[in-house]
Amino acid sequence: MEIQETPVLTKREKLIVSGLYLSRFDSKALETLGFEGFTEAFNVIGYSLGARPASIKNYRDEFDPFFPNPRLGWHKRPLRDYCREVYETYGGLSFEALTELVKSFFREDHEEDLESFEDEESTLGNAFAQRLITGQAAERYFKSVYSNIPDFQGRLIEDTTQLGCGYDFRLEIEANRKDFLAVEVKGIKDLTGAISMTRKEFNVARFLRDRFFLFVAKNFRETPCHSLFRDPISCGLEFKRVEKRTIEISWSTKV
């Protein structure tokens, strides 16, 4: 069974389909998406879709009794109606079709980033997962915790990820919109790792000084947590300038 065009699914349906995919194809699904284990998959997919990681696990467990995997799942209760609808609609898709459907859930906000890794995915198995960790999962994680961070409490949040202004979020006081804080979000798989800032991000951080925060969401492999750096250019982090040359490919024809 194949799908002719990408369907428009609700958030809950995306969560259910993701759980179905992980249950049906088990370790093959993890390897294809670039996850080293289910905990990492639950964390990254869950946060990327704006849900609790436990939701992905629960939906995987719900479908486990229907597929030959090592888990029993929720075998002592009937499949819930809304899960059965998803199962009947998408449970018969081929591995390739269901993989593409799951991947399509994460292309809306970071389509260019993900497309840039298409060629690498065939040789670097973790490219897809890595882009989610450094993109959607980290940003959604930030949105889920920012209101508990003392420096940000009482401020309104504006998502600027698509505006190209050198940071991902702008935090304002409603009565004084000019007194804003800028937050650039990065994500890493483990508790420690390398991050990079673009030239624009670095320059904006140097200009805004203590109004610029670098927020690092980390440890998606196990239990996500974060570190926060105010004025990252001057706070003690050691940045090394890295220069890269890129080749841009285009296609031409005569008309």
Architecture of domain 145-230: 3-Layer(aba) Sandwich (3.40)
With a cut of 70, say whether residue 36 has pLDDT above it. yes
Report the C-alpha gap between 2 and 150 in whole angstroms: 49
Residue 173: what pLDDT? Answer: 87
Distance between CA atoms of residues 21 and 88, nearest Å? 13
Per residue in 63-98, pLDDT (tens digit) is: 999 999 888 888 888 999 999 999 999 999 999 999
142-194 tens-digit pLDDT: 999 999 999 999 999 999 999 999 999 999 987 677 789 999 999 999 999 99
Q: Where are the chain's structural domains? A: 11-134, 145-230
More confident residue, 117 or 152: 152
Whether the predicted pLDDT of 115 surpasses 70: no
